[in-house]
Structure 1
Amino acid sequence: MSSTREPAKIEVRTAEPGDAGCACNVLRRSIAQLCEKDHRNDSAILTTWLANKTPETVRGWIESGKNCSLVAVIDNQVAGIAILTRQGKIVLFYVAPEMCQAGAGNALLQAIEHRAGEWGLRSLQVDSTLTAQQFYLRHGFTLNRTTTSAFGTEAYSLSKPLAPTGYPQKKPCRCGG
């Protein structure tokens, strides 16, 4: 008789300042262990990429009212973190290496799309790593162009139109700038 493991229950919620240490740990391990295709184990690239990934910096990102910071939690452990700007740009999206394929990334992306809909956004944008590019393509994003990240790695600018949600749409900016 084979025993099948019940899928982990994933909770996605707004990140809290107390999540900063765990979220920072997820970020650093994800970059170091999962993004090898991007940093190619080049210590200079890795050092630059990880330089601002400190608990204090992550706490500042979480506390910023300018963005939506979300965490995926599995078994009371932070399994992933994502940050969405009010302009619809995903500026941070990482999952713990041991949680890959557990659904945390899918759940985070669904929550981001829901929040974007609440904000009346019509599309999402992301500058993706090579490592994450296929994830975004599988979820309906389209490749716009190739660029270079601040860390010196190749990045992929992708976007995804969002379906109308019934939430009020943002009024267009008439600032002339």
Structure 2
Amino acid sequence: MNIKVRPATADDAADVCRVIRKSILECCYEDHRGDVKVIQGWLSNKTHEVLRRFILAPDAFSVIASVDKATVGFGLASGTGEVALCYVAPSVRFTGVGKALLAAIEDHAVRSGVEALRLKSTRTAKAFYLRNGFVPEGSPVFAFGIEGLPMRKGLSARG
């Protein structure tokens, strides 16, 4: 599989929206348990317009992953190292797409002088983040009716 990762543009918002929504609906059952109210809350800000604003935010770094020119993943982090979104299409789960997104975010963060990446992991993604060097940091938090586990990964400058 030839995974290509590049910075996201506003024109990617519709494809990004489809990937995120499908990932939440199909991959994150452990988190939402099929609860319609929880799913609606989680998806409430996953619209083309909101994602376009996220991509264009001046302090954001966002990337998309594609395979055969089809968008299959999206990652978004702030300039301070907060990873806000990292989703892959169900069809490419466990193929290295998520790892490629994280690597691009990490490389950008290191070049920007960020000392650590932080995020709030879902139950579904916890093992993925642990495999990629993140460690739990603090008590769980709740948003959109789901539990988020704060995690951190220290970064070192690369020469």
Q: Do the two structures share a fold, i.e. TM-score over 0.5?
A: yes
With the shorter chain as reference, the TM-score category is over 0.9
Q: Helix, strand or coil for the counterpart of 2:95?
A: coil
**Aligned ranges 1:41-80 → 2 under 5 Å:** 41-80=34-73
Please say if 1:14 is aligned against 2:15: no
- Select the residue among 29, 32, 39 that pairs with 2:22: 29
Residue 153 of structure 1, CA deviation: 1.1
Please say if 1:99 is aligned against 2:92: yes
Q: Structure 2: which amino acid aligns with 1:64?
A: A
Runs of at least 4 residues of structure 1 off by over 3 A?
A: none
Distance in 2 (CA, whole Å) between partners of 1:148 and 1:46 is 17
For 2:112, the equivalent position in structure 1 comes to: 119
Residue 29 of structure 1, CA deviation: 0.4
TM-score, reference length from structure 2: 0.97
Gaps of 5+ in 1: 1-7, 167-177
CA contact (8 A) 1:146 1:154 kept: no
For 1:128, the equivalent position in structure 2 comes to: 121
Higher Cα Rg, which structure: 1
Relative to structure 2, which stretch is displaced further, 95-104 or 145-154?
145-154
Q: Helix, strand or coil for the counterpart of 1:78?
A: strand
Q: Between Structure 1 and Structure 2, which shows a larger proportion of helix residues?
A: 2
Distance in 2 (CA, whole Å) between partners of 1:78 and 1:154 is 27
Identity of aligned residues (%): 39
CA contact (8 A) 1:20 1:59 kept: yes
Residue 59 of structure 1, CA deviation: 0.9
Q: Helix, strand or coil for the counterpart of 1:71?
A: strand
TM-score, reference length from structure 1: 0.87
- Select the residue among 98, 111, 136 that pairs with 1:143: 136
Residue correspondences, number = 159
Gaps of 5+ in 2: none
